[in-house]
Chain A
Amino acid sequence: MATPQQQQTIRDATVASGAKPVMSKTDSNLKLTARSINFYYGQFQALHGISLDIPTNKVTAFIGPSGCGKSTFLRTMNRMNETLRNTRMEGDLKLDGEDLMGMDVTDVRRRVGMVFQKSNPFPKSIFDNVAYGLRVNGIKKKSVVAEAVEKSLAHAALWGEVKDKLHKPASALSGGQQQRLCIARALAVEPEVLLLDEPCSALDPIATLKIEELLFQIKDITTIVIVTHNMQQAARLADFTGFFLMGKLVEIDDTKKIFQNPGKKETEDYVTGRFG
Chain B
Amino acid sequence: MMMEISASRRIVNSVMLTLSGVCTVFVVGVLFFILGYLLLHGVSSLNWDFFTKLPKPSGETGGGMANAIVGSGKILLLAALIGVPIGFLAGVYLAEYSGKTFAFTIRYVVDLLNGVPSIVIGIVAYALVVRPMRHFSALAGGVALGIMMIPIAVRTTEEFLRAIPNNIREGAMALGATKATTIYTVVIPAAISGLTSGMMLNLARVAGETAPLLFTALGNQYWSSGYLAPIATLPVMIYNYAIAPEDDLHQQAWAAGFVLLTLVLVINVTARLIIARGPAAQRR
Q: Which residues of B contact A116 (CB under 8 A)?
A: 167, 170-171, 174
- Distance A70 CA – B175 CA, assembled complex (angstroms): 21
Are B279 and A107 in contact (CB-based, < 8 A)? no
A182 to B185, CA, bound (A): 17
Place the interface of chain A in its size category. 20 to 34
Among A83, A121, A123, A133, contact of B175 (Cβ-Cβ < 8 Å) = A133
| The stretch of B38-46, B108-116, B176-184, B220-228 that contacts the partner chain | B176-184
Which residues from A are CB-within-8-Å of B177?
Answer: 106, 132-133, 136
Q: Confirm or deny: A31 has a beta carbon within 8 angstroms of a beta carbon on chain B.
A: no
B186 in complex: contacting residue of A83, A106, A118, A122, CB < 8 Å: A122
Whole-angstrom CA separation of A61 from B150 in the bound complex: 51
Cross-chain contact B189 with A78 (CB below 8 angstroms)? no
Inter-chain contact A106/B189, CB cutoff 8 Å: no
Tell me if A136 and B175 are in contact (CB < 8 A).
yes
A185 touches B168 (CB 8 A): no
Q: In the complex, which residues 149-187 of chain B have their Cβ closer than 8 Å to any Cβ of chain A?
A: 165, 167-178, 181, 185-186
Q: Knowing A106-B177, A106-B178, A123-B189 are in contact, say whether A136-B172 is a contact too (CB < 8 A).
A: yes
Choice from B168, B170, B181 contacting A83 with Cβ under 8 Å: B170
The answer to whether the Cβ of A64 comes within 8 Å of any Cβ in the partner chain is no
On chain A, the residues within 8 Å of B279 by CB distance are: 123
Q: Is B261 an interface residue (CB 8 A)?
A: no
Task: Place the interface of chain B in its size category.
Answer: 10 to 19
Using an 8 Å CB-CB cutoff, how does the interface string of A151-184 with B read, 1 for contact, 0 for none?
A: 0000000000000000000000000000000100
Asked if A189 contacts B190 (CB within 8 A), the reply is no
Residues of A contacting B167 in the complex (Cβ-Cβ under 8 angstroms): 116, 118, 120
Contacts of A122 in B (CB 8 A): 168, 171-172, 186, 190
Cα–Cα, bound, A130→B173 (Å): 14
Which chain B residues lie closer than 8 Å to A78 at the CB level? 174
Given contacts A120-B168, A122-B168, A136-B185, A109 and B190 within 8 Å (CB-CB): no
With contacts A120-B167, A120-B168, A122-B168 taken as known, whether A83 is within 8 angstroms of B173 at the C-beta atoms is yes
Closest B residue by C-beta to A117: B167
Inter-subunit contact A123/B190 (CB<8 Å): yes
Residue of B nearest to A133 (CB): B175
Which of B171, B178, B186 lies in contact with A182, CB distance below 8 A? B171
- How far does the alpha carbon of A14 sit from the alpha carbon of B172 in the complex, in Å? 39
Q: Is chain B's interface secondary structure helix, strand, loop, or mixed overall?
A: helix
Which residues of A are found within 8 Å of B170, using beta-carbon distances? 80, 83, 116, 120
**CA distance in complex: A121, B172 (Å):** 9
**Which single member of A109, A124, A182, A189 contacts B173 (CB below 8 Å)?**
A109
A115-156 interface with B by 8 A CB criterion: 116, 118, 120-124, 132-133, 136-137
Report whether A80 and B174 are in contact in the complex, using a CB–CB cutoff of 8 Å. yes
Partner of A136, one of B169, B176, B190: B176
The CB with the most chain B CB atoms within 10 A, among A110, A136, A182, is that of A136
Q: Does any Cβ of B come within 8 Å of A186's Cβ?
A: yes
Residues of A within 8 A of B181 (CB): 136
B161 to chain A, nearest CB (A): 13
Decide if A109 touches B174 in the complex (CB within 8 Å).
yes
Report the separation of the CA atoms of residues A110 and B175 in the bound assembly, to the nearest whole angstrom.
5
Q: A118-B167, A120-B168 are in contact. Are A113 and B174 (CB under 8 A)?
A: yes
Q: How far is the CA of A118 from the CA of B168 in the complex (A)?
A: 10
CB of B171 within 8 A of CB of A107, answer: no
Knowing A123-B189, A123-B190, A136-B181 touch, does A186 contact B175 (C-beta < 8 A)?
yes
| A114→B174 contact, CB < 8 A | yes
Chain B residues near A118 (CB-CB < 8 A)? 167
Contact partners of B165 in chain A: CB under 8 A: 120
Contact A107 to B173, CB < 8 A, known contacts A120-B167, A122-B168, A124-B189: no
Q: Mark A189-206, 1 if CB is under 8 A from B, else 0.
A: 100000000000000000
Query: Are B175 and A189 neighbours in the complex by a CB distance under 8 Å?
Result: yes
Complex: chain B residue closest to A171, CB-CB: B279
| B169 partner residues in chain A, CB cutoff 8 A | 83
Q: How far apart are the CA atoms of A149 and B134 in the complex, in Å?
A: 62
> Given the complex of chains A and B, what is the CA–CA distance between A189 and B186 in angstroms?
18
How close is A186's CB to chain B, nearest CB, in angstroms?
7
Which residue of B176, B185, B189 contacts A110 across the interface (Cβ within 8 Å)? B176
> Cβ of A185 and Cβ of B175 under 8 Å apart?
yes
Residues of chain A within 8 A (CB-CB) of B172 are 122, 132, 136
B176 touches A189 (CB 8 A): yes
Chain B: minimal CB distance from A10 (Å):
34
Per-position 1/0 for A91-121, Cβ under 8 A of B: 0000000000000001101100110101011
- 8 interchain pairs, CB-CB under 8 A: A110-B175, A113-B175, A116-B174, A120-B168, A122-B168, A132-B177, A137-B175, A186-B175
Given A80-B170, A109-B174, A109-B175, 8 more A-B residue pairs with CB atoms under 8 Å apart are A113-B175, A120-B167, A120-B170, A137-B175, A182-B171, A185-B175, A186-B175, A189-B175
A residues whose Cβ falls under 8 Å from a Cβ of B: 78, 80, 83, 106-107, 109-110, 113-114, 116, 118, 120-124, 132-133, 136-137, 182, 185-186, 189
